[in-house]
Amino acid sequence: MEVRKEVEVDKLDALRLMAENFGNPLELVREAISNSYDAGANNIKITIKREPWEGLQRWIVKNLDDGAGMVLDEIPSNQNTGNIRNFFSLGKSMRKGETQGHAVGEKGLGIKIAFHSEYLNISTWAGGDFPLYKIRCYKPWARIFEGKLPEYEYEASADKGKPYDSHFTEIEIVGFYDNDGTHFRADEIDDYIRWFTKWGSFEERIRKHLLNEQAAIKLHLGKLRPPPSGFVTLIAPGDTSPRQIPFGHPFPDIGFDKIQPNEKLDTVISKLSGISFEDMVDRLEQAKKKHWRYIPKVGILKDIPDVTWQAIISVEGEDAKRNYNPYLRQRHRSEKYTYKAEDRYGLWFCKDFFCIHQPIMLQWRYSVKRANELVLKFY
């Protein structure tokens, strides 16, 4: 006799694993920005500060956006509108299976890391005649470890006391990640947003590279949403005033002293024949500092034709990198947030046009017809 059984899932344990299974607390910023982007937001305000809460100092993270907002049971007219019940549920998303080509989150899992906190407070309005919802979730992390699922309560109000003239969502998270503020420095958050979140997407570079809209549809299986026209406004420790971060991954042509693409490296090398090795090294040293070659590529996987890929190859000299990246380590020691070039530059695997995988340092060798060997490193 054939016997069938349903697969059993421990919802509580699954929720606990999702809320604690991340390596960097700034992943909360990544997930919040992804949600805001999917909601059609053009402006996001991220505030991180430490202040008293229930008599103790707590780190408080706020994410405010002008996206489409959230509803409870109503049917919204805006496809970007979120759902409060889905926000607090596992694996539920109004964007599941979306074919428009621009949704980052469709599984309803990532933002659950916000449950690793003492308190969640959400205010949201979907605009028009929808009510303003205020949602509170008290001590979700403590309840999970007590063997209970987190609970939330909400109230609907006609009072539109709101930060924007139209729809919005504000999420406040108190005591996130066991109240550890190690990574909550303005410079580190700024760098993280530009490299590891949807706000640091290189999609606009790809869009401009495509010759026509038909090619865009073919390669992206649908139109990308227009790029956000506003900024991420960041208020965090280490800054005396808010800083504004434009949408898109930075490259040398948007730095302090704009550097435009120049000669191919093989062209530079071809001009070095007939000179001494010492002069060759000196000229290459000068050329490489402001060197920048920028090559966008798009295509379809040969063996899996329904899978498309997009890539950008950016060969940048030291001065070209430092022109837009203030966090590259100098020779002298500094108390500021810095890192080595190989910590950021290399071969990255991306999803939704931003970096998700650790880089691999690439090395290219150019041999000359003498005993010496010149080694050029590309990060």
pLDDT band at 62 (very low <50, low <70, confident <90, very high): very high
pLDDT in tens, 4-34: 888 777 777 777 777 777 778 899 999 999 9
User: Residue 361 pLDDT > 80, yes or no?
Assistant: no
Return the pLDDT at 366: 44
pLDDT band at 293 (very low <50, low <70, confident <90, very high): confident
Show me where the domains of the chain are located: 11-219, 250-378
**Highest mean predicted confidence (pLDDT) among 40-54, 81-95, 345-359:** 40-54
User: Residue 78 pLDDT > 70, yes or no?
Assistant: yes
Return the pLDDT at 212: 58
pLDDT in tens, 126-136: 988 889 999 99
Return the pLDDT at 13: 79
Average pLDDT over residues 310-318: 86
The C-alpha torsion from 150 through 156 and 159 to 160, rounded to 10°, is: 70
* Least confident range of 50-64, 66-80, 337-351, 362-376: 362-376
CATH topology of domain 11-219: Heat Shock Protein 90 (3.30.565)
Q: Which two structure tokens, joined as six digits, stand for 162?
A: 């709101």
* Least confident range of 156-165, 248-257, 335-344, 363-372: 363-372
Return the pLDDT at 370: 44
Three-state SS at 318: helix
Task: Please report how the helices 186-196 and 27-38 are oriented relative to each other, as an axis angle in degrees rounded to 10.
Answer: 50
Return the pLDDT at 365: 47
DSSP character string of 204-242:
HHHHHHSSSHHHHHHHHTSPPPPPPSSEEEEE-TT-SS-
Average pLDDT over residues 300-309: 83
Average pLDDT over residues 321-329: 91
Stated pTM of the model: 0.85
